Chains A and B, each alone.
Chain A
Amino acid sequence: MIYLGQSSIEKNKIISEYIKENNIKKVFILSPEKLYFNCDIEETKEFIEYDNIIMYVYFYRLLQEINNDVLVVINECLRTKNRYDLTYNCIRNFLYQTRHQIIFQYLPTIESFEDFFILFDFDTRSKWKGQTDCNILKNSNININQINIKLNKIEVQTGAKLKLRYQEEKNNLIEKIGLKDPHTIPRNLYLLSGKSKLFLIDHSKKYIGRNNRFCLLNMQTYKEKAYQGNYTVFEFSHNHIDFIDFLSISKQVDIDVLVADLKVDQWYFERYQKWVEELDRAYAKIRQ
Chain B
Amino acid sequence: MQKYDNNKNVLDAAKERISFVFDNFENIIVSISGGKDSTTLAHLALTEAHNRSRKIGLFFLDEEVVYQNTIDQIEYLMNIYPENTNRLWLQIEFLLTNSTSLEEGQLKCWEAGKHKIWMRSKGKNNIFAKPWAKEKEKYHNAAKGGLGFYGVLENFQDCYKNTAFLVGLRAAGESPNRWRAVTKNPININGNKVYWGSKKGENVVLYPIYDWNFHDIWHYIYDNKLRYSKIYDFQFKKGFGISEMRVSSLIHEKSFKSICELPEFEPKTYDKLLKRIKGISFAQETGKNSKMFKARKLPKNFKSWIVYRDFLLNTYPDPAKKNLFAKRFSKHLNNEFVARQQCRQIILNDYENNLAIQNKPDPREELIEYYKGVL
Distance, CA A178 to CA B239, complexed state (A) = 36
Instruction: Report if A57-B236 is in contact (Cβ < 8 Å); known contacts: A182-B368, A185-B368.
Output: yes
Q: Which residues of A contact B367 (CB under 8 A)?
A: 182-183
Instruction: Report if A182-B371 is in contact (Cβ < 8 Å); known contacts: A56-B240, A86-B243.
Output: yes
Distance, CA A86 to CA B298, complexed state (A) = 27
**Interface flags, B353-371, vs A, CB<8A=1, else 0:** 0000000000010011001
Q: Does A5 sit at the interface, judged by CB under 8 A?
A: no
Distance, CA A55 to CA B235, complexed state (A) = 11
Number of interface residues, chain A, beta carbon within 8 A: 30
Prevailing SS type, chain A contact patch: helix
Instruction: Report if A64-B240 is in contact (Cβ < 8 Å); known contacts: A84-B176, A264-B375.
Output: no
Q: Does A80 sit at the interface, judged by CB under 8 A?
A: no
Q: Does B154 sit at the interface, judged by CB under 8 A?
A: no
Instruction: Report if A56-B215 is in contact (Cβ < 8 Å); known contacts: A84-B176, A177-B368, A185-B368.
Output: no
Q: Which residues of A contact B298 (CB under 8 A)?
A: 179
**Interface flags, B228-246, vs A, CB<8A=1, else 0:** 0000000110011111110
CB of B218, distance to nearest CB on chain A (Å): 7
Q: Are A174 and B243 in contact (CB-based, < 8 A)?
A: no
Q: Are A174 and B368 in contact (CB-based, < 8 A)?
A: yes
Q: Are B372 and A174 in contact (CB-based, < 8 A)?
A: yes
Distance, CA A79 to CA B119, complexed state (A) = 46
Distance, CA A234 to CA B2, complexed state (A) = 51
Distance, CA A57 to CA B213, complexed state (A) = 16
Q: Which residues of A contact B176 (CB under 8 A)?
A: 84, 89, 129
Q: Does A60 sit at the interface, judged by CB under 8 A?
A: yes
CB of A47, distance to nearest CB on chain B (Å): 18
Q: Are B304 and A178 in contact (CB-based, < 8 A)?
A: yes
Instruction: Report if A59-B371 is in contact (Cβ < 8 Å); known contacts: A178-B303, A182-B364.
Output: no
Q: Which residues of A contact B239 (CB under 8 A)?
A: 55-57
Distance, CA A96 to CA B10, complexed state (A) = 13
Q: Does A186 sit at the interface, judged by CB under 8 A?
A: yes
Q: Which residues of A contact B305 (CB under 8 A)?
A: 179
Instruction: Report if A186-B375 is in contact (Cβ < 8 Å); known contacts: A56-B241, A178-B304, A179-B298.
Output: yes
Distance, CA A54 to CA B244, complexed state (A) = 10
Q: Which residues of A contact B240 (CB under 8 A)?
A: 55-56
Distance, CA A278 to CA B239, complexed state (A) = 40
Q: Does B374 sit at the interface, judged by CB under 8 A?
A: yes
**Interface flags, B196-239, vs A, CB<8A=1, else 0:** 00000000000000000111001000000000000000011001
Q: Does B123 sit at the interface, judged by CB under 8 A?
A: no
Distance, CA A263 to CA B371, complexed state (A) = 11
Distance, CA A60 to CA B236, complexed state (A) = 10
Residue of B nearest to A179 (CB): B298
Q: Does A230 sit at the interface, judged by CB under 8 A?
A: no
Instruction: Report if A56-B236 is in contact (Cβ < 8 Å); known contacts: A84-B176, A179-B336.
Output: yes
Residues of A251-270 at the interface with B, using a CB-CB cut-off of 8 Å, are 263-264, 267
Distance, CA A86 to CA B371, complexed state (A) = 31
Residue of A nearest to B371 (CB): A185
Q: Does B173 sit at the interface, judged by CB under 8 A?
A: yes
Q: How large is the interface on B (under 10, 10 to 19, 20 to 34, 35 or more residues)?
A: 20 to 34
Q: Are B241 and A63 in contact (CB-based, < 8 A)?
A: no
Q: Which residues of A contact B103 (CB under 8 A)?
A: none
Distance, CA A170 to CA B375, complexed state (A) = 8
Instruction: Report if A90-B2 is in contact (Cβ < 8 Å); known contacts: A60-B215, A179-B336, A189-B375.
Output: no
Residues of A174-209 at the interface with B, using a CB-CB cut-off of 8 Å, are 174, 177-179, 181-183, 185-186, 189
CB of B100, distance to nearest CB on chain A (Å): 25
**Interface flags, A30-65, vs B, CB<8A=1, else 0:** 000000000000000000000000111101100110
Q: Which residues of A contact B173 (CB under 8 A)?
A: 89, 93
Distance, CA A189 to CA B2, complexed state (A) = 53
Q: Which residues of B contact A185 (CB under 8 A)?
A: 368, 371, 375
Distance, CA A164 to CA B213, complexed state (A) = 60
Distance, CA A203 to CA B215, complexed state (A) = 57
CB of A266, distance to nearest CB on chain B (Å): 9
Residues of A228-285 at the interface with B, using a CB-CB cut-off of 8 Å, are 263-264, 267
CB of B10, distance to nearest CB on chain A (Å): 11
Q: Are B371 and A90 in contact (CB-based, < 8 A)?
A: no
Q: Which residues of A contact B285 (CB under 8 A)?
A: none
Residues of A81-124 at the interface with B, using a CB-CB cut-off of 8 Å, are 84, 86, 89-90, 93, 96-97
Q: Are A263 and B241 in contact (CB-based, < 8 A)?
A: no
CB of B216, distance to nearest CB on chain A (Å): 9
Q: Does B174 sit at the interface, judged by CB under 8 A?
A: yes
Residue of A nearest to B243 (CB): A86
Distance, CA A182 to CA B363, complexed state (A) = 10
**Interface flags, B139-150, vs A, CB<8A=1, else 0:** 000000000000
Residue of A nearest to B302 (CB): A179
Instruction: Report if A267-B174 is in contact (Cβ < 8 Å); known contacts: A63-B215, A86-B243.
Output: no
A-B contact pairs, 21 of them (CB 8 A): A55-B239, A55-B242, A56-B244, A56-B245, A57-B239, A59-B242, A60-B236, A63-B213, A64-B215, A93-B173, A93-B174, A96-B2, A97-B215, A174-B371, A179-B304, A179-B336, A182-B371, A186-B371, A263-B374, A263-B375, A264-B375
Closest 7 CB pairs of A and B: A63-B215, A182-B367, A185-B371, A89-B174, A182-B368, A56-B242, A54-B241
